[in-house]
Amino acid sequence: MLSYILDRLKSSIVVLFVVSVITFFVLMIIPGNPAQLILGTDATPEAIQELHAAMGLDRPLYQQYLSWLLDLFTLDMGSSYVYGESVTALIARSIPVTFSISIFAMVMAVFIAFLFGIISAIKKNSIADYFSRSIMQLGAAIPSFWIGMVFIVYFGIKLRILPVSGFVPIEQSFAGFIKSILLPSVVLAIGEVGTLLRIIRSSMLDSLKQDYMDMARVKGLSTGKTYIKYALRGALTAPLTIIGMQFAKLAGGTVVVETIFALPGLGRMVLTAVEHRDIVLLQGLVMFITSTVIIITLIVDISVMYLNPRIKSFQQGEL
């Protein structure tokens, strides 16, 4: 188990290194002079030249890369041109926004998807099954910007019970925090629930057909034991992987939803950085998002291994 985790960590470091090289060089060779962008079109060529040198942009690329990489180890990712603040501080500030709506959305999606996925697999072709299948269709078909707008109009403007935009930090007011993340989370959850429900339903259907279900039935166990201990246990691997992928996707920033609800999250920041060619900020964000995805994937893989120990033996060469 430990050796597997260490192995995965080693390969994660390689991935991060490759990502850092690609991010740095691709962004650096994009045309456009950051010094020019900062100073504007009215600046004299001398002033631009001076700033260019001050920012270290006249050094060879590999030198710039190495100093950037070394700074990365101390969590110093430079400072943003647009915000004039350190990238680390900016990311740290938007993490609570993006992570709280992502976590909240995933909790809702997971709960609903498991509830209806399990019921619709057990009671195939029942009313509950048709209902679940409509959830799948709707979740896949409704664009999040549209449902977000509908929510804003209905809950924010017509009923006036929820704020239409902005983020309230949890330490400021708990009720305010919940209210501010509720609508965006629901919108995100609607986007994810369909896929997850589909996977849970089909894994459950598959598990219900397995021979061990015959055994559980012949043992005459209670319905709960039969379906949860035997059927669901055999059906967890695929949904868990999907949950990890979905969460990793959301945690990397949700541009559309953050924009609609004017939330200062990671997705908005990526957008701003791209719009303003804030290369330093963009490099920092890409590195951060990549690390997040790698960590989440690692956690998911370890949980899957725990659930399905055959994978562990396979890794260790027992099988």
Partner 1 sequence: MNETVVLKDLQINAGDNILVNKTSIVIEEGEIFGLVGESGSGKTLTAKAIINLLPKGLSYSADEIITAGKNMLTASAEEKKEHIGKNIGYIPQNTVFYLHPMIKIKNQIGDGYVYHMHKTKKEALEKAEALLYKVGFKYPKIVLNYYPWQLSGGMRQRCNIAMALMNDPKLIIADEPTTALDSTVQRQVMDLFRTINEEMKLSILLISHNLGLVKHYSHSLAVMYAGQIVESGYTNTVFSNPKHPYTRLLIEIIPSFKIKKDERLAEIPGLAAENGRDIKGCVFFKRCPKAMDICKEMVAEHIDDKHDHYYRCNLK
Q: Using CB under 8 A, pick the residue from 233, 256, 298, 303 that binds partner 1.
A: 233
Q: Does residue 316 belong to the site contacting partner 1 (CB under 8 A)?
A: no
Q: Does residue 13 belong to the site contacting partner 1 (CB under 8 A)?
A: no
Q: Which stretch binds partner 1 (CB under 8 A): 34-42, 139-147, 224-232, 256-264?
A: 224-232
Q: Is 105 within 8 Å of 186 (Cβ atoms)?
A: yes
Q: Smallest Cα–Cα separation from 145: which of 192, 184, 102, 103?
A: 184
Q: Does residue 221 belong to the site contacting partner 1 (CB under 8 A)?
A: yes
Question: How many other CB atoms are there within 10 angstroms of residue 98's CB atom?
Answer: 28
What tokens appear for 296 in the block? Answer: 């989440």
Q: Does residue 230 belong to the site contacting partner 1 (CB under 8 A)?
A: yes
Give the helix/strand (H/E) hosting 142: none
Binding mask 181-210 for partner 1 (x = CB under 8 A): -----------------------------x
What tokens appear for 213 in the block? Answer: 């279900």
Classify residue 10 as left (phi > 0), alpha (psi -120 to 50) or beta: alpha
Q: Using CB under 8 A, pick the residue from 36, 64, 241, 308 that binds partner 1.
A: 308
Q: Does residue 217 belong to the site contacting partner 1 (CB under 8 A)?
A: yes
Q: Does residue 295 belong to the site contacting partner 1 (CB under 8 A)?
A: no
Alpha helix locations (H) across 209-278? 211-218, 223-224, 233-234, 237-251, 255-260, 266-275
Our CB check for partner 1 shows the closer of 140 and 302 to be 302
Q: Using CB under 8 A, pick the residue from 89, 212, 228, 262 that binds partner 1.
A: 212
Half-sphere exposure in the Cβ direction for 185 (13 Å, CA): 22
Residue 238 CB, nearest approach to partner 1 (Å): 13
Half-sphere exposure in the Cβ direction for 122 (13 Å, CA): 15
Q: Does residue 220 belong to the site contacting partner 1 (CB under 8 A)?
A: yes
Contacts with partner 1: how many residues (CB under 8 A)? 22
Our CB check for partner 1 shows the closer of 17 and 306 to be 306
Our CB check for partner 1 shows the closer of 36 and 241 to be 241
> Can you name the residues that pair with 79 across neighbouring β-strands?
86
Task: Tally helices (H) and strands (E) across the chain.
Answer: 16, 0
Question: Which parts of this chain interact with partner 1 (CB under 8 A)?
Answer: 210-212, 214-215, 217-222, 225, 229-230, 233-234, 307-310, 313, 319
